[in-house]
Structure formats: structure tokens, C-alpha cells
């Protein structure tokens, strides 16, 4: 974990979050190997509509998507995880010059790249283990290519607050020339009960995923969170247009992280994740300083969208 989850930075970010009045933790720290696996389980849940809806949109529009994205491209995937959606593209895309999976969870990335190398022996894969919420540099590609396309599926862009999303888009766009692009999945505003059900599954996989952030901190840092002393909470915040996930303290308790002591009152929460839901118009406004929205594909329920943006 030398690149991003380096000890001092992780510690600083965690202490900073827990010192706030509303305690918070950066959601990227869900994703160690176990967290990535739990997220994979979430994507297969009946209640969690985004993954299968996005996959369906991709399958239903594949020739059109491929025509829009173009050929001889460098495909750089942000938060590549299991690369399952990329496989869909790779299987229909004869001419991806290089694939750059960008992923914070180092061991998970190594495992997935090893598998991809076996499955796609002709594909040039240049993995990049980094925290892409910070400025980063794409590796240099030796072969000729027509353009760079970032692939950012899953509505993971919804984890950023709008101001953070703009800073992120600004960073990304420094790596792009006009005509380069981004294929991005964006979850849409919808019936609140559909949203809340998706983040409160009956099997409690989302609860385990949420609590894994504490386990990850215990493992990486000298910390003593007791996972049983927190309960999962997820709800739609209508004013902010986002699902919020929290871990609520079941009792008054203290937790020590590298000699720093934190107090939790019974009922006090740690805010662990935002998942913004957009209208098509709001998303277009969000990106408009850097990108034009070239194409939008959605499902028949208008639950989710896949969008092709072009750098302007
Ligand atoms: C992968 C970040 C898009 O916000 O829906 C799933 C993560 N959190 N269940 C999301 C998540 C709780 C997911 N993203």
C-alpha cells in the first residue's frame, strides 16, 4: 500500500474527520481487499439496482456506445474494482490500445490485473494504484492512440460532494485534450423508497460493508474500534439529494487511534459516505465547465444513466 494508503496520510485524514462536530470518514477507506469483495456482493443484491441497471444499459446499447467512444483509444478506468463492466467493453471493443485500471486497493488491483492478463493476452494493461481523488498522472503510453477515454462507471462520481466533483473534474481535464472523453455512470433521482432499500438490504451486506471501514482502520493503524458497538444507518437526504451512510454509536464509548482518543456519545454518528443522485440537467451543469454531454443512455425506468462526455 505504498502509493496511497500510506500510513501518515491515512492517519491524518482519519483524525481530521473524527475531530469534526459531525464526525466523518472518507468513503475511499471502505476499499481494502475485504471491502472490495463486500462491494462486489452488494452489486449482486436484489435491492441494489445500480450495477445491473448500468450493465443492462451497456448491453442494450453496445454498438452505439462503441461507435460513440471510438477506436484505438486508451481506456483509463477510475476505481476499476473487479473490472466486470470493462470486460463487457473489451469483449465488444476490438480496438482498445491500452487499458489503465486505476484502483486504490492495491492487492485487489494486482489480483484482477493478473486475471485480465490471462483472459486478454493481447491487451496492453498498465495498472495504476492511486487515490484518484488527488491529482495523479497517467502512465506514458508508447503505442499510437487516437484519444484517451476515462471510464467511470457505477455512479462513483456521486461519492463526491458537488464542489469536490468539480475539483476532481478539473484535475482530470488537465490530462485530457479537446476531443478526449469520459464514459461515466450517473445514478438518477427517483422514488425515495427505491433508493433507501438499495442501501438497506435485508441480508445486511451493506451494513458489513459500512462497518468494514472501521475494521480497515483497526488493521492499518493501531486502532481499537469495536464493530459491535456501531450500527449501520442509511437514508436519503432530500435537501442535499444524496444517500448518506452513517455508523451510529450504540453506547457512550472511547476509541483510541495511535494514542489519539475519540469519544462517542450514544446515538452519535460517523458519516461514512455520500451517494449523490442527479437529474440529467443538474449533472450537465456540474460538468459543463470542462465537458459537453454528447450522449445519454438510460434504462426504461430512468433509474440510471450512462453518459459520454467530451472534453471541450
Ligand atoms: C460504488 C460508490 C457508487 O454509492 O452506491 C454501495 C457504494 N455504498 N452501497 C454507491 C455503495 C453502499 C456505491 N458506489
Of 26, 49, 80, 156, the residue with max ligand 1 atoms within 8 A of its CB, to mutate for a pocket test, comes to 156
**Closest C-alpha residue for ligand 1 atom 4:** 275
Residue 149 pLDDT: 97
Global pTM value? 0.95
Nearest Cα residue to atom 3 of ligand 1: 156
Determine if ligand 1 sits within 6 Å of the CB of residue 153: no
Per the model's pLDDT, the better-predicted residue between 289 and 5 turns out to be 289
What's the gap in Å between 203 CA and the centre of ligand 1? 16
- Each residue of 248-294: pLDDT tens digit? 999 999 999 999 999 999 999 999 999 999 999 999 999 999 999 99
| Percent of all residues in the chain with a pLDDT value above 90, rounded to a whole number | 88
Band of residue 1 on the pLDDT scale cut at 50, 70, 90: very low
pLDDT for 42: 98
Q: Please give the distance, rounded to the nearest whole angstrom, from the Cα atom of residue 156 to the centre of ligand 1.
A: 7
CB-facing half-sphere around the CA of 257: CA atoms within 13 A: 24
Other Cβ atoms closer than 10 A to 16: 12
Regarding the beta carbon of 156 and ligand 1, being less than 6 Å apart is answered yes
pLDDT at 3 over 80: no
Model confidence pLDDT, tens digit, residues 144-188: 999 999 999 999 999 999 999 999 999 999 999 999 999 999 999
ipTM of the assembly? 0.98
91 or 253: which leads in pLDDT: 253
Atom of ligand 1 nearest to the CA of 79: 1
| Distances 182 to 11, 104, 111, 132, 308 between C-alpha atoms, Å | 32, 20, 25, 15, 6
275 CA to middle of ligand 1, Å?
A: 7
pLDDT at 104: 86
71 C-alpha to ligand 1 centroid (Å): 30
- Rounded Cα distance between 310 and 308, Å, is 7
Query: Does the pLDDT value for residue 115 go beyond 50?
Result: yes
Percent of the chain whose pLDDT exceeds 70: 97
Amino acid at each position: 500500500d505504498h502509493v496511497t494508503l500510506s500510513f501518515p496520510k491515512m492517519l491524518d485524514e482519519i483524525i481530521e474527520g473524527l475531530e469534526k462536530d459531525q464526525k466523518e470518514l472518507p468513503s475511499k477507506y471502505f476499499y481494502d481487499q475485504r471491502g472490495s469483495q463486500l462491494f462486489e456482493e452488494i452489486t449482486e443484491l436484489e435491492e441494489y439496482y445500480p450495477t445491473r441497471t448500468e450493465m443492462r444499459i451497456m448491453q442494450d446499447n453496445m454498438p452505439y456506445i462503441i461507435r460513440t467512444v471510438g477506436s484505438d483509444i486508451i481506456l483509463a478506468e477510475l476505481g476499476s474494482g473487479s473490472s466486470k463492466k470493462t470486460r463487457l467493453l473489451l469483449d465488444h471493443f476490438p480496438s482498445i490500445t491500452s487499458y489503465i485500471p486505476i484502483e486504490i486497493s492495491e492487492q485487489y488491483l494486482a489480483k484482477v490485473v493478473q486475471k485480465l492478463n490471462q483472459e486478454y493476452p493481447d491487451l496492453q494493461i498498465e495498472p495504476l494504484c492511486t487515490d484518484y481523488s488527488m491529482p495523479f498522472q497517467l502512465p506514458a503510453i508508447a503505442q499510437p492512440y487516437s484519444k484517451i477515454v476515462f471510464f467511470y462507471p457505477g455512479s462513483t462520481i456521486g461519492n463526491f460532494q458537488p464542489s469536490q466533483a468539480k475539483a476532481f473534474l478539473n484535475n482530470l481535464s488537465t490530462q485530457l485534450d479537446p476531443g478526449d472523453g469520459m464514459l461515466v455512470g450517473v445514478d438518477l433521482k427517483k422514488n425515495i423508497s427505491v433508493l433507501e432499500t438499495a442501501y438497506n438490504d435485508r441480508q445486511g451486506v451493506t451494513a458489513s460493508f459500512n462497518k468494514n471501514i472501521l475494521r480497515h482502520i483497526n488493521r492499518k493503524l493501531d486502532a481499537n474500534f469495536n464493530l459491535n458497538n456501531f450500527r449501520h444507518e442509511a437514508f436519503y437526504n432530500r435537501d442535499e439529494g444524496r444517500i448518506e451512510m452513517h455508523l451510529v454509536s450504540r453506547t457512550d464509548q472511547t476509541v483510541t487511534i495511535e494514542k489519539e482518543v475519540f469519544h462517542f456519545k450514544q446515538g452519535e454518528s460517523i458519516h461514512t459516505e455520500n451517494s449523490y443522485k442527479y437529474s440529467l440537467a443538474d449533472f450537465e451543469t456540474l460538468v459543463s465547465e470542462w465537458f459537453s454531454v454528447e450522449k445519454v443512455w438510460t434504462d426504461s425506468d430512468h433509474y440510471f444513466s450512462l453518459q459520454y462526455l467530451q472534453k471541450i
